[in-house]
Structure 1
Amino acid sequence: MYAINHAATALLIKKNSPKLPLFPLLISVQLVEVLWVFFNYLGWEHFSISGGRVHLDFLPYSHSVFSGVAAAVLSFCVINCGYKNRKLALAFAIGVLSHVMIDVIFHEKDIQLSPFSAKPAFGLGILDFPILNFIIEFVYGLFCWWYFKGSKALLWTITIFNFLDLPMMLAHGDSLNIFVHYPFILPTVILFQILITWYFVYRYAHSKNDKNSPVIGEI
């Protein structure tokens, strides 16, 4: 799933816990992806180009089931013990887990059970069918907006970013050669997507009531 629709998942969590601040929830649903970006920069994880497609064939430290659960538990402990905020700690942990759970649906079979074993690996492979991938992601983003009862500006944000992702979904063959020669470009593009979707989703989902929301330690 692309950045805008992972960010939209934070709207589902926010709707069910309206007093919680939105920005930490946006971080939670993309924490796994941010780790992937930096692990790629460090060379700990990598992708490959073959058969005219991008394959995220080694991402066990950021995207394995074990890593997702570990990151969720650690996040819960830090927020609950450090900030004395059990509600936010639980919501943040759910956000972290949501990323891996959703990626199992969209990824190829590259979501390992743990970093310590290559098998079993999970993934339904929807990414291999770009048009189907686009439709499912777009419908999911619209559902998150509808459930959240968001503004028209937020609807336009989700719509525009989904259509901007379509060329990346359809990219294949020689158009991917740039990632072969300059592999740092892909994680950089993903990081930029994450940051810009955080900004626009927060801006257009942040209601006047949120300005009076309690800070982390007050809930």
Structure 2
Amino acid sequence: MYAAAHTSLALVAKRHHPTRSLLGFMAAAQAAELTWVALSYAGIEHPTIDAHGTLHLEHIPYSHSLLFGLGGALVLWAALRYLAHRPQVAAVMGSLFASHLVLDVIQHEPNIRVLPWLAHPALGLNLQAHPWWDFAVETALCLACWAYYRGDRKLLAALIGLNLANLPLMFAGEGGATPMAQNRFILPTVILVTIVMAWAVVGRFARTSRPSEQAMVPARPRSEAPAG
């Protein structure tokens, strides 16, 4: 899925842990995509362009494999739980890390391997083949996270705007990927920009939703008046 949907899940974590860093939650949710960007720049992972100029993320065996998504989540959980001694946030960060793969299985065509070195079986429900449904599902996920977070109208408008900005990529269709066949740095750069934009927008407008954060902080018991 696109950056807005992945980033929105960080709002759910922030709702439960209002004193923790939203940036940390967003980074965990997008760790797999950032890994893909790095591997794409290095030429280790790459898309393919078919005869019609349509892009396929056919070779993403490391960053988007079950081994990396679930194994990385386990490693992150263990590191926070036992090395950093932060048990309260360990499960949340691990879940966010794994959530990226779960959402991408829904959206991607069958290109998500179980193990990097095994081409089959490959998972993917191919929601991206139906752009309007893709847009509807990703927007609905963002709105559900916004509602759970109890964000304000500015954050709502920001999330809708981020999803609308994804429409040109969703509807690129045949021929839309031709420039990417000539320069392998274009696609990872575009995706990196969308990630940074989503982090900046969500981080900016999530801070205005102060009531949602206060609601999660238990009230201090009122001290009894001294007997007179």
Q: When the two structures are superposed, what TM-score results if normalisation uses the length of structure 2?
A: 0.87
Q: Give the CA deviation at 1:65.
A: 0.7
1:73-152 paired onto structure 2 within 5 Å: 73-152=74-153
SS at match of 1:48: strand
Q: Give the CA deviation at 1:175.
A: 2.9
CA distance in 1, matches of 2:139, 2:181: 29
CA distance in 1, matches of 2:202, 2:166: 16
| Cα deviation 1:31-89 (Å, max 9, x = unaligned) | 00000000111111111122442211011111111111121122123323343211222
Q: Which moved more, 1:169-178 or 1:78-87?
A: 78-87
CA distance in 2, matches of 1:84, 1:29: 21
| Cα deviation 1:142-199 (Å, max 9, x = unaligned) | 1111111111111111111111100110012233211011121100111111111111
1:1-219 paired onto structure 2 within 5 Å: 1-50=1-50, 51-206=52-207, 207-208=209-210
Q: Which amino acid aligns with 2:180?
A: F
Q: Which moved more, 1:56-65 or 1:14-23?
A: 14-23
Does the aligned pair in 1 maintain the 2:40–2:46 contact within 8 Å?
A: yes
CA distance in 2, matches of 1:174, 1:107: 19
CA distance in 2, matches of 1:175, 1:101: 27
Gaps of 5+ in 2: 215-228
CA distance in 2, matches of 1:161, 1:7: 11
CA distance in 2, matches of 1:161, 1:208: 22
Q: Give the CA deviation at 1:29.
A: 0.5
Q: Give the CA deviation at 1:12.
A: 1.8
| Cα deviation 1:106-158 (Å, max 9, x = unaligned) | 10001111112111111100111111111111111111111111111111111
Q: Which amino acid aligns with 1:64?
A: S
CA distance in 2, matches of 1:143, 1:52: 35
Relative distance call for 1:144 and 1:208 in structure 2 (3 A) is closer
CA distance in 2, matches of 1:158, 1:147: 14
Q: Give the CA deviation at 1:28.
A: 0.6
The number of equivalent residue pairs is 212
Q: When the two structures are superposed, what TM-score results if normalisation uses the length of structure 1?
A: 0.90
CA distance in 2, matches of 1:190, 1:201: 16
Q: Which has the larger radius of gyration?
A: 2
Gaps of 5+ in 1: 212-219
Q: Which amino acid aligns with 1:120?
A: P
RMSD over aligned CA atoms reads 1.9
CA distance in 2, matches of 1:112, 1:76: 22
